[in-house]
Amino acid sequence: MPVNKMLIEAYLKKLKMPQAAKTYESLAREAADNNLDYEEYLLCVLEQEVHQRENNRIQRGIRQASFPVIKTLESIDFLAIPSLNKPKVLKLMKGEYIRRKENVLLIGNSGVGKTHIAIALGYEACRQGMKVKFYTAAGLINELLAAQQEYRLNKLEKQWLAPHLVILDELGYVPFSKVGAELLFQFCSSRYERGSLIITTNLEFPKWTEVLGDEQMTAALLDRLTHNAHILNINGESYRFKQALSKQPDVI
């Protein structure tokens, strides 16, 4: 191996530029074939490294978000969900609500695509370089209860504001214990005007007391969540049910 090649690869390794190490030779050949000058060649090498680092950062953010599945804007069938406000969803995809620390509340009966939309919004936020975390409401409460029992709650509280966006899925499907409801209130209140929340729920606001158990706490929570929030009411026939029917063989 020529000395220059050894030194280049050693320096790139020391500088932690793995993509440049992979591509500098092929880019050098392309530069020679296209009569590029030294600065243009160097620019190509650096662009490759920056693009790969950006892609790696996005993919790492998507993994850390803990989405149960990946859903994107392109996979939303707006025609199948006529009650969904498409212009509003497209506007939310731009992520300005996160920069303004506003919330999104997705309300509707089961199967109409609330979780799909929430994940698509979270995925797009990851692509824009934002930190996102996905929880089911029940899963978050179980995590908070465990932390409280193990005297880790104070330490965990410092992590609540780390994500730019937290998605709480399926609020309302299972009633919470008194302690669980109080911990959820504490979590959401800590993010008020300091970080965005997306919440999916099958319950209209007057029925939230059924799962939280306390009218005053429910009112206080809704007051914080709905302040400057984007509320999407999605009701209609179950999207999943219609998909299942479409896959059934015709009966003669």
The residue to which tokens 């919440």 are assigned: 199
Q: Quick one: pLDDT at residue 8?
A: 92
| Cβ 94 vs Cβ 130: under 8 Å | no
Domain co-membership, 48 together with 102: no
Domain co-membership, 36 together with 97: no
CA–CA gap between residue 70 and residue 107 (Å, rounded): 21
Range of the domain at 84: 73-243
CA–CA gap between residue 8 and residue 133 (Å, rounded): 40
CA–CA gap between residue 88 and residue 75 (Å, rounded): 16
Domain co-membership, 226 together with 141: yes
Count of domains for the chain: 2
Is 11 within a domain? yes
Q: Quick one: pLDDT at residue 9?
A: 92
Domain co-membership, 148 together with 230: yes
Domain co-membership, 109 together with 158: yes
Is 40 within a domain? yes
Look up the pTM and report it.
0.85
Q: Quick one: pLDDT at residue 1?
A: 56
pLDDT in tens, the chain (252 residues): 588 899 999 999 999 999 999 999 999 999 999 999 999 999 999 999 999 999 999 999 999 999 999 999 999 988 888 889 999 999 999 999 999 999 999 999 888 899 999 999 999 999 999 999 999 999 999 999 999 999 888 888 888 889 999 999 999 888 899 999 999 999 999 999 999 999 999 999 999 999 999 999 999 999 999 999 999 999 866 655 555 545 655 544
Residue at a domain's end among 46, 65, 84: 65
Q: Quick one: pLDDT at residue 38?
A: 93
Domain co-membership, 109 together with 169: yes
Domain co-membership, 156 together with 213: yes
| Cβ 56 vs Cβ 30: under 8 Å | no
Domain co-membership, 226 together with 108: yes
CA–CA gap between residue 238 and residue 13 (Å, rounded): 53
Domain co-membership, 9 together with 123: no
Is 249 within a domain? no
